[in-house]
Structure 1
Amino acid sequence: MLPLGVSMLWETSIDPSTALRERFGFEGVDDVEAWVSASLAEHWQIAVARCTRIVVSDHNAIVWAETDQGPVVVKWSYGEFRFPALDASTSLLRVLGEQGVPVAVPISLVGGHERVVIDAPAGALSVTVLPVLTGQWLDTADDIAVRSAGASLARLHRALSDLGSDDWTSPHGEVHVKKRIENWLSDRDRGFAPDASRRLREFLADLPELDESAQLVHNDFRAANILTENSRVVGILDFDEVRTDPPVLDLAKASVYLGTRFTEWRPIPVSVRRSFRAGYEQVRPLSSAAAQWFDVLVLWHSLAAVSDENDSAGWMSEL
């Protein structure tokens, strides 16, 4: 559970109260509580009893509040450039909820929308209100839960495949996956693991054509965004990073970052990665070409995660 009061989600170089004030203009929990109470009463007709937790993450914040409609989460962002994408991803939650995907379906405003832009002390915020989902963050030491997570990602991919991407993501230039990796190797590889970079180049040369079309994918499927109960997934959180990609790329990225939570970023053992993939393929088997791509994509994401020349977190140790 995240701490009571104000905290940072993953940043460690700034005091939480300072970030709350400088980024959003709030002087503390009481100030946030007053603003949240007024905003939810006006736009949602929800009465707030108190705010218990405030978590700041870059240009976003999450507030847990006790209300007359039960516990809710209030999420906001001051990143105006992201407002259209946030509108789309929030509406997407309702569609997925109607298909039975375990997501927090937004609580509608009085006018029926899922998000609204509200003035705050430091400028406009895009705000949505969600019910609180109960459960524990995914424990990657629990093999049954890991397999359940893999199956849940596969079911999510199936649900997302039925939705056109243009209505749910902001426009961006889609680059062929092989070209994307080649561009990364030439422009962004920091050279911390030269042998792995060489292997990646060699593998790319022999890959077959990827027979998966790009579709909507979660793009941030990991322990911090997966809730479980009795080793079964009961909640998938945070669709703010949704984008279009081949599903195997999303699976590979999730396989690398599955165990990460907030400031805890370390790889999972190969055995856990295998269980996660096995759970996925019970629902959505990979083609022969996608299976070959999976191994290369895991190498790429692991290589990209290396943050220093000693690979102190051990991202390459499981390859």
Structure 2
Amino acid sequence: MTRTPHLTMLWEQHDPAVQLRDRFGFPDAAAAGDWVARSVERHWGVRVEACERITMSSRNALAALRTPLGPLIAKWSVASDVFPRLSALATLTSWLERQRLPVSAPVAAVDGRLQVELDGTSIGLQRRIDGDLLDTADPAQLRAAGAVLARLHRALAAYPDAGRVADLVPHPKTPGTSIAGWLADAPGHLPDPACDVLRRLLSSAPGMTLPGQLVHGDIRSANVLCAESGVAAVLDFEEMRWDRPVVELARSAVLLGTRFRDWGPVGTDVHTALLEGYCSERPLDGVETHWWRVLVLWYSLLMIPDGPDPTGWRAAALRLSGAAPAALP
């Protein structure tokens, strides 16, 4: 193998060489690249011509590889407590690909495993999917992302082994309980008018009788690759949880513009375009419609920092609370 990989942090402001040593136990980039190349050749039978880049986030790492099969991505974790979940999610993602969902499915190892545990890590291999991060200024991409999210929710609801995954992922409280508890002790830096609107919406909300199911957990621009006006792939299922689809839809609408180091709000036109695409595949019922309005405002308020607000989350929440809710198609 040639070329020492370039080291980067996905979003943290740390020295990547230090983190590679302290978190992953490699003395330098060359040693990490050699380990990845040897692991891929041994377990997948694929020769690595170059490990071009290693990107780290928390206790996870991703290596961009050049191989005779084309560009591949090796992802590994040293967080042993999540190894069973990573294995279950690899199986689920492979199943989603067979349902014709646009996902980055794992490449099976020589022995058939989709996630391999070795040297204190859990590692998987994927093909690189060409595309650009979702552009929230492109209405066609937004509608396409909404439609794919609806299809993903429908597929996840039908996953045959959902019970196994459900035992391994977080189960948040129902939104009514979560929001009521949060409002009872809302941080003092939040705008009172927007909090008052949220209280009124919550008080008139119907009971959340909708069943929970598996949801992606982290739909945002950084995890949606697009090609022209369509979705090429939904990435990174590691944050999967058990929740209501409308909760994920609302959270995704608010956070859709966030990337790795850019956490600014989007406008209600973006919310509406995502919602239109979603409803083209899975229309919301009356209960979900009300909760969509509650949840979009709540998630917007949650993002307001206690201190400088350079991207304008406070102004966005105030506009949202004072404007008519996004219209349903």
TM range (shorter): over 0.9
Q: Which structure 2 residues correspond to residues 153-168 of structure 1 after superposition, within 5 A? A: 153-163=149-159, 164-168=161-165
List, as ranges, runs of 4+ consecutive aligned residues in structure 1 with deviation greater than 6 Å.
none
**Equivalent pair of 1:83/1:126 in contact (CA under 8 Å):** yes
**Equivalent pair of 1:29/1:51 in contact (CA under 8 Å):** no
- Equivalent position amino acid for 1:116 in 2: V
Q: Which structure 2 residues correspond to residues 253-268 of structure 1 after superposition, within 5 A? A: 253-268=251-266
1:231 to 229, 232, 238: 229
Higher mean displacement: 199-208 or 100-109: 199-208
- Identify the residue that residue 7 of structure 1 maps to in structure 2: 8
Q: Which structure 2 residues correspond to residues 1-319 of structure 1 after superposition, within 5 A? A: 5-12=6-13, 14-119=14-119, 124-163=120-159, 164-169=161-166, 170=168, 172-186=170-184, 189-195=186-192, 196-309=194-307, 311-318=309-316, 319=320
CA distance in 2, matches of 1:84, 1:199: 42
- Equivalent position amino acid for 1:216 in 2: L
- 1:189-208, CA deviations, whole angstroms, 9 ceiling, x for partnerless residues? 43321413333233211101
Equivalent residue pairs, number: 310
**Equivalent pair of 1:165/1:244 in contact (CA under 8 Å):** no
- Equivalent position amino acid for 1:166 in 2: G
Counterpart of 1:317 in 2: which secondary structure?
helix
Q: CA deviation at 1:149?
A: 0.7
**Equivalent pair of 2:191/2:314 in contact (CA under 8 Å):** no
Q: CA deviation at 1:135?
A: 0.6
**Equivalent pair of 2:59/2:79 in contact (CA under 8 Å):** yes
CA distance in 2, matches of 1:99, 1:298: 30
CA distance in 2, matches of 1:243, 1:209: 21
Tell me the TM-score normalized by structure 1: 0.93
**Equivalent pair of 1:8/1:57 in contact (CA under 8 Å):** yes
Note the residue ranges of structure 2 that are not aligned, 5 or more in a row: 321-329
Note the residue ranges of structure 1 that are not aligned, 5 or more in a row: none
Q: CA deviation at 1:307?
A: 1.6
**Equivalent pair of 1:192/1:310 in contact (CA under 8 Å):** no
CA distance in 2, matches of 1:62, 1:228: 20
Percentage identity across paired residues of the two chains: 40
Tell me the TM-score normalized by structure 2: 0.90
RMSD over aligned Cα atoms: 1.6
**Equivalent pair of 1:222/1:260 in contact (CA under 8 Å):** yes
- Equivalent position amino acid for 2:124 in 1: T
Q: CA deviation at 1:282?
A: 0.9
- Identify the residue that residue 324 of structure 2 maps to in structure 1: none
Counterpart of 1:299 in 2: which secondary structure?
helix
Q: CA deviation at 1:172?
A: 4.4
- 1:272-312, CA deviations, whole angstroms, 9 ceiling, x for partnerless residues? 11111111111111011101100111111111111224543
Higher mean displacement: 175-184 or 286-295: 175-184
Counterpart of 1:35 in 2: which secondary structure?
helix
Q: CA deviation at 1:174?
A: 4.9
**Equivalent pair of 1:255/1:273 in contact (CA under 8 Å):** yes
- 1:140-195, CA deviations, whole angstroms, 9 ceiling, x for partnerless residues? 111111111111111111111102532224154552221122233346x4332141
CA distance in 2, matches of 1:305, 1:171: 23
- 1:44-75, CA deviations, whole angstroms, 9 ceiling, x for partnerless residues? 11111111111110111111101122211011
- Equivalent position amino acid for 1:297 in 2: L
CA distance in 1, matches of 2:183, 2:42: 51
Counterpart of 1:21 in 2: which secondary structure?
helix
- Equivalent position amino acid for 1:47 in 2: R
